[in-house]
């Protein structure tokens, strides 16, 4: 590593000499230097970038896409993965993952609630601590860079990435995003503010083919700045976030990946962002023209590193040609290169002072307790009739519905795999709702059953409804009813059973966004929104049994219809007739 450092220093000295117009040292091949610099501006995916490749193409970065992990999916396996690349690379790579709710690609990691649930807590201190915990688990695997947090201010909950957004309110997004960035970066891990800009403002318009994910945001500049740019000010100026990822989406028809105005003038100029700007996964291919033209446009717009999981080799070669042809200036390449080096320097990669956390932090008792606290604080109580809550610890309880014993559904997309898991199988670390109920009941002489034939023996029915897991465009939904897009097929049967049970019913909804409940709500005595809470369902029983009271408040307006583009509190044309519960609503039991 020391010799790598020396090599890097010597390249740097040479470059400084060139820049200073000193006589050219004869031994330096300028093209080789340029080629190496350009390789630093490209990121490949581990599956498509073998260790030997890094000998020839010393890429700046390697990532694990959603769910991508080493064969041994444990701390040692991950450390080995990263260190193999480092051994081959004269300039250390920076390794990135999406640890968007805990280190979610790592088997056995603590899975925190997705951002929408954390938005309900409005607890900055909690977000800071979750940033620290996530940073430590990431660091323990030798990874340096986390593509989080999402600073989307989602305006239409039909969007499949709504759960990655803290709130429809930019103030909540901003304060929680900032707290998380500070926590994460305090552990020596780089954060990413994403996706710049207005990824949460895309407009759904089936008639003109507009979609929500990767769609278009038709907005005036004042609204863009006031709502969607705002969290970036805080992230950059207060949080000193090291990286920013560009959004697949467009603003008024212009793709962000090609926008010099938003990236160079506003983000780097006005906001003074000093770190590195990365493109999203193959996103430059959504720009017009050939690969050559896509690279020229995106680099000239101000992107510093291209996330090109598969075709990284032709991207390096093509960018090299574009610079030789003067279609991308050398100054632009130098700026991008310096920004990549700046981030690597900040993380201690170049002088080998990057410090890995001890692997004992992974799903430690402390992290489990933190996740449990987060779950308890994220729950929002929307109805509680006849004081059915809190439950008696001695109560006899029937659990029904697809959400009762399934950690995959509780965690949603970006958990173990990109689209998430349909069962608990790959999440053995998780406490499911059923396990959490059983723990309380067995300690206090209560009774928990999932056997519907025991209905006459029980005091109360817990109806656990769930969405299927999804990520990105797969989650775009046109029908938000309880049987609509992305809802689990078993919900209806459980709803019917509960309705005719003649017992008090407490409904718990596990979902990445509000769903339409106004017709069913009258059949339920209590209704709790649990979001995508992750691996620590004991946080739910802590509150249901009354050890803690509910404190969560809705981070999004709750709709009455699927026309959810007109309900956000940030929308000047808001239609109050479409609203069931307003943002900020949430009951207590005492
Ligand atoms: C997503 C990003 C993510 C990247 C890498 C993209 O599809 O939009 O949020 O960071 O993939 O996994
Ligand atoms: C990857 C994700 C990525 C997505 C983009 C998936 O195969 O695992 O990380 O965001 O592709 O489409």
Q: CA 25 from chain center: how many Å?
A: 47
Specify if 209 maps to a domain: yes
Q: Tell whether ligand 2 has an atom less than 6 A from the beta carbon of residue 67.
A: yes
Interatomic CA distance for residues 506 and 525, integer angstroms: 6
Which atom in ligand 2 lies closest to the alpha carbon of residue 281?
A: 5
Helix (H) or strand (E) holding 17: helix 2-19
With a 6 Å cutoff on the Cβ, whether 147 touches ligand 1 is yes
Please say whether the beta carbons of 525 and 388 come within 8 A: yes
How many of the other CB atoms lie within 10 Å of CB of 20? 7
- Please report the atom of ligand 2 found closest to the CA of residue 65: 9
Specify whether 561 is located in the same domain as 424: yes
- The domain total for the chain is 2
Centroid of ligand 2 to alpha carbon of 306 (angstroms): 15
pLDDT tens digit string along 559-569? Answer: 999 999 999 99
Is 494 contained in some domain? yes
**Distance, CA of 570 to CA of 426 (rounded, Å):** 39
Question: Cα separation of 263 and 278, whole Å?
Answer: 11
Q: Of 346, 375, 400, which marks where a domain is finished?
A: 346
**Same-domain status, 411 and 320:** no
Distance 437 CA to ligand 1 centre (A): 36
- Give the Cα separation of 521 and 382 in Å (integer): 10
**Judgement on whether residues 269 and 416 belong to the same structural domain of the protein:** no
Same-domain pairing of 203 and 312: yes
Cβ–Cβ < 8 Å for 332, 300: yes
Taking the CA of residue 67 as reference, the ligand 2 atom at the shortest distance is 8
Answer yes or no: do 240 and 168 share one domain.
yes
Q: Which of 346, 378, 405 represents a domain boundary (last residue)?
A: 346
For the full predicted model, state whether its pTM sits above 0.85.
Answer: yes
Q: Does residue 362 form part of some domain?
A: no
Residue of 221, 198, 195, 208 lying closest to 283 (CA atoms): 195
Nearest ligand to the C-alpha atom of residue 69: 2
Note the pLDDT tens digit of each residue in 21-72.
555 555 789 999 999 999 999 999 999 999 888 888 999 999 999 999 999 9
Is there a contact between 549 and 588 (Cβ–Cβ < 8 Å)?
A: yes
CATH of the domain at 307: 3.20.20.300
Decide whether any atom of ligand 2 lies within 6 Å of the 309 Cβ: no
Is 116 a member of any domain? yes
249 and 329 inside one domain: yes
Domain check: are 303 and 198 in the same one? yes
Q: Is residue 472 annotated as part of the catalytic site, yes or no?
A: yes
In a domain, 4, yes or no: no
d(C-alpha 437, C-alpha 449), whole Å: 10
Which residue in 67, 150, 90 sits closest to 349, CA to CA? 90
Q: What is the pLDDT of residues 461-513, one digit of tens each?
A: 999 999 999 999 999 999 999 999 999 999 999 999 999 999 999 999 999 99
Do 290 and 424 fall into the same domain? no
Residue with CA closest to ligand 1 atom 12: 65
Give the integer Cα–Cα distance in Å for 512 and 419.
Answer: 13
Residue 551 and residue 420 share a domain: yes
The answer to whether the beta carbons of residues 448 and 397 sit under 8 Å apart is yes
Its domain, for residue 202, covers 96-346
Q: Tell me if residue 280 is catalytic.
A: yes
Q: What is the pLDDT of residue 55?
A: 84
Residue 40 falls inside a structural domain: no
Residues 127 and 265 in one domain: yes
**Ordered DSSP codes for 31-56:** HHHHHHHHHTTEEEEGGG--TTHHHH
Ligand 1 mean position, distance from CA 45 (Å): 12
Distance 456 CA to ligand 2 centre (A): 48
3-state secondary structure of 493: helix
314 and 380, same domain (yes or no): no
Residue 14 falls inside a structural domain: no
Same domain, 285 and 375: no
Whether ligand 1 lies within 6 angstroms of the CB of 231 is answered as no
In a domain, 165, yes or no: yes
CATH for 464: 3.40.50.1700
Question: 526 has which bridge partners?
Answer: 384, 506
Distance CA 571, CA 48 (A): 44
């Amino acid at each position: 590593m020391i010799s790598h450092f020396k090599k890097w220093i010597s390249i740097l000295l040479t470059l400084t000499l060139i820049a200073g117009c000193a006589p050219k040292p004869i031994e330096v091949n300028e093209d080789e230097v340029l080629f190496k610099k350009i390789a630093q501006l490209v990121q490949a995916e581990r599956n498509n970038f073998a260790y030997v490749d890094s000998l020839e193409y010393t890429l700046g970065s390697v990532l694990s896409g959603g769910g991508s992990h080493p064969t041994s999916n444990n701390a040692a396996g991950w450390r080995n993965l990263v260190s193999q690349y480092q051994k081959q690379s004269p300039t250390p790579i920076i390794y990135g993952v999406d640890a968007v709710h805990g280190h979610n690609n790592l088997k056995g990691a603590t899975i925190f609630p997705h951002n929408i649930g954390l938005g309900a807590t409005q607890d900055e201190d909690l977000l800071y601590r979750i940033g620290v915990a996530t940073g430590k688990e990431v660091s323990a695997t030798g990874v340096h860079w986390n593509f989080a947090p999402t600073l989307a201010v989602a305006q239409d909950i039909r969007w499949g990435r709504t759960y990655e957004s803290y709130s429809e309110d930019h103030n909540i997004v901003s304060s929680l995003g900032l707290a998380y960035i500070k926590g994460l970066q305090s552990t020596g891990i780089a954060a990413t503010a994403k996706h710049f800009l207005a990824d949460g403002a895309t407009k759904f318009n089936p008639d003109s083919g507009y979609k929500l994910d990767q769609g278009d945001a038709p907005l005036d500049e004042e609204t863009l700045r006031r709502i969607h740019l705002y969290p970036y000010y805080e992230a950059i100026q207060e949080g000193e976030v090291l990286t920013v990822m560009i959004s697949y989406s467009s603003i008024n028809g212009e793709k962000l990946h090609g926008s010099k105005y938003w990236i160079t003038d506003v983000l780097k100029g006005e906001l003074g962002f000093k770190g590195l700007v990365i493109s999203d996964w193959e996103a430059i291919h959504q720009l017009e023209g050939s690969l050559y033209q896509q690279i020229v446009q995106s680099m000239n717009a101000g992107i510093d590193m291209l996330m090109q999981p598969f075709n990284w080799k032709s991207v390096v070669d093509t960018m090299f040609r574009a610079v030789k042809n003067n279609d991308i200036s050398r100054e632009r390449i130098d700026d991008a290169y310096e920004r990549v080096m700046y981030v690597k320097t900040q993380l201690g990669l170049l002088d080998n002072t990057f410090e890995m956390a001890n692997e004992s932090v992974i799903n430690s008792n402390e992290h489990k307790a933190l996740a449990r606290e987060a779950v308890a604080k994220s729950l929002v109580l929307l109805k509680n009739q006849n004081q059915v809550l809190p439950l008696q610890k001695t109560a006899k309880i029937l659990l029904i519905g697809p959400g009762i014993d399934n950690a995959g559904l509780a965690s949603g997309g970006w958990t173990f795999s990109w689209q998430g898991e349909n069962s608990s199988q790959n999440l053995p670390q998780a406490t499911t709702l059923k396990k959490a109920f059983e723990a309380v009941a067995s300690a206090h002489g209560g009774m928990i059953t999932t056997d519907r034939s025991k209905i006459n023996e029980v005091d109360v029915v817990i109806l656990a409804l769930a969405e299927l897991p999804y990520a990105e465009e797969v989650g775009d939904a046109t029908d938000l009813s309880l049987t609509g897009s992305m809802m689990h097929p078993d919900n209806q049967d459980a709803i019917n059973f509960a309705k005719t049970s003649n017992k008090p019913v407490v409904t718990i909804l596990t979902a990445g966004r509000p769903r339409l409940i106004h017709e069913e709500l009258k059949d339920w005595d209590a209704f709790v929104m649990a979001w995508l809470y992750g691996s620590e369902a004991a946080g739910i029983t802590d509150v249901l049994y009354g050890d803690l009271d509910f404190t969560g408040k809705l981070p999004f307006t709750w709709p009455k219809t699927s026309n959810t583009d007109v309900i956000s509190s940030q929308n000047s044309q808001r239609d109050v007739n479409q609203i069931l519960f307003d943002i900020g609503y949430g009951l207590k039991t005492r």
